[in-house]
Structure 1
Amino acid sequence: MPRYHLSPSDAVEWLRSLPAASVDLVITDPAYESLEKHRAIGTTTRLKRSKASSNHWFQIFPNARFPELFTEVFRVLKRDSHFYLFCDPETMFVAKPLAEAAGFRFWKPIVWDKQHIGMGYHYRSRYELILFFEKGRRRLNDLGVADVLPMPRVYRGYPAEKPTELSEVLIRQSTEPGDVVVDPFMGSGSVGVAAVRLGRDFRGTDICPEALAVTETRLRAEGALPEESEDTRGLRIARSG
């Protein structure tokens, strides 16, 4: 039975608490800095509260923190593993060289085709990028999967929620059953849900209390079990003694 562990921590600080080479795959979607620009001129969605969530707009993860984030992601990943980063085209030009400086090999941007246009000026937005990085060398499980993934966006869900099926594609491509999948900006836990559905363990963190509650509810509904912490284990042993 897949297990999960959730934490209410800053992404980088939480990653620093994980052992080196203990993670098989990282998939994540930070609230990147360029969102503030789009938010200011009204060219991005969910500027207010979502109908399905009381969560306010995210606290931005600044570009200046990418080097420390990528350093920790590289450290916790096992050799011969993958890292997927959701971002917009503007952030790609910032993130790519910084991730490469941390040791990753960049392969390509994968295009998530949302199938319906969104907000924007000039050409309306219809896609988002997933930057595909590699530590060491790992073959994808299915070389027949295209680099454009058509999948409808989630409507009226948690702010900026990603389709679970989208994460399932990435997890199938880059892991095996029983592996550990991590998301340090987990939001509503779509990566975690995809992981446990596919028989992988999940670990994630988010500084928003609502994200933790939503994610835990979703993971329990999938039948996942909480990973016992050292504190919990010690308390159980003391009671049984």
Structure 2
Amino acid sequence: MVLALPVAVLAGLVSFFSPCVVPLLPGYLSYATGLGAADVVAGRGRRSRMLFGALGFVLGFALVFVITGTVIGGAGSALLGARDVITKVLGVVVIIVGLIFAGFIGIGQRDLRLERIPTVGIAASPLLGIVFGLGWTPCIGPTLTVVYSLAYNEGSALRGAVLAFAYAVGLGLPFVIAALAFSRMNRLVRVVQRHQKLIMRIGGISMVLVGLLLITGVWDLLMAQLRNVVALFTPLI
């Protein structure tokens, strides 16, 4: 988990800066807060309204990811006997989706998003988050595949849930920051958009490396080493 958690958070950040999320940021915040996209961009909404709308939206899609991560982590525990084989298969899948995400394989580039959703505001923002969590597939599928593969490898429903939540934090934190300070966040977004291909390529290559670690068994060795380090740790107080 020490190694898997940062990977999950990073995967969430990479997903946020993907082509199907960051360009539509004003629209997502508009749906979640009930404000017009122009008001969101201009920062004319009340900070409390922006904050609670964004938090509700993030909690909605976090719920989708956590439930799925819990199920997959539990499956890893149930299929313990065949986990070595399945982990290698998942490693191959992670490598393939990493190559797709990096643009080396020209398939799976479309995203399934729900375009027409009413602007209903804060009260329904968690529901909108759930809808978007489901509708973003397969746009954020490559990064989610990495997280769910790690969740399966952990062989625990609880750890699967924690990893999925870490992913949701990486994906959701920029939404909250943008809701509170859109003009400043927008400067970062523009810089990222100029280098989006490079960022996605780096993200894809990182996924390939994780897949190779899973296939070769190095991931399990690293986990064993980390467990030994943690077991030998003695607090000073």
TM-score between both structures, scaled by the size of structure 2: 0.22
TM-score between both structures, scaled by the size of structure 1: 0.22
Report which of the two has the higher share of strand: 1
Larger Rg: 2
Report which of the two has the higher share of helix: 2
